[in-house]
Structure 1
């Protein structure tokens, strides 16, 4: 799904997201559900896509665009659809902390390791402010 040499996100043979893509280009791919754009009027806009199926996993993605160029991706890998009772009932601060090792393992299986690459960086982290674990991709 993540090309370790380029940082491109490949969802299907004809669905590829690249650093620098525009909001319109990513929207046109029709990834998952709930594709809503939030322009915060600071140069940044955010596109959310939930329930993007990749293999047996469901992804929740937030694409961050600065002046309409993709700069960052926040990614969550889930075993069930976003918005389902089983997924929502399982949420807790403890569960979010316990998911971090699984996300770190997912990153290693995709790109070999966390850290810096020629195309940018990828990390799996726990966010104390938002009480969630997620994967962050930042493009150079």
Structure 2
């Protein structure tokens, strides 16, 4: 799913998303169950893609474009589709820390133990202020 040589996310045999992907190119694909575009009023634009199925897993992607070029990807993964109507009522820190552990195992399975590459880096983090765990790819552009 992640090509450790290029940093590309391989969606299928005909499509990959990576550091050379442009904003309009990805926006026009209309990927996932739903897609949302955020204009930040500066050099940043975001595309949020929800419930895109890749192989046997579901993903939520937040693609950050700086000056129209993909700069970073924040994402989460699960074996089941995400409930897009979920609320904070079901949130617990314990569950978020379990997700963090799962994301680290997922990265090890996908790309091995390395986190720094020629194309950029990948990390799994828990943000206590935001109350969420996620994985992050940052490209060297």
Is 1:13–2:13 an aligned residue pair?
Answer: yes
Cα distance in structure 2, aligned partners of 1:80 and 1:126: 21
Alignment-derived partner of residue 109 in structure 2: 109
Q: Secondary structure of the residue that 2:34 maps to in structure 1?
A: strand
Cα distance in structure 1, aligned partners of 2:136 and 2:20: 16
TM-score by length of 2: 0.90
Alignment-derived partner of residue 61 in structure 1: 61
What RMSD over aligned residues (CA atoms) do the two structures have, in Å? 2.0
Report how far residue 39 of structure 1 moved: 0.8
Alignment size in residue pairs: 140
Where do residues 22-41 of structure 1 align in structure 2 (5 Å cutoff)? 22-41=22-41
TM-score by length of 1: 0.90
Q: Secondary structure of the residue that 1:80 maps to in structure 2?
A: coil
- Whether the aligned pair in 2 keeps the contact of 1:75 and 1:135 (CA below 8 Å) is yes
- Whether the aligned pair in 2 keeps the contact of 1:58 and 1:80 (CA below 8 Å) is yes
Alignment-derived partner of residue 100 in structure 1: 100
Structure 1 unaligned segments of length 5 or more: list them.
none
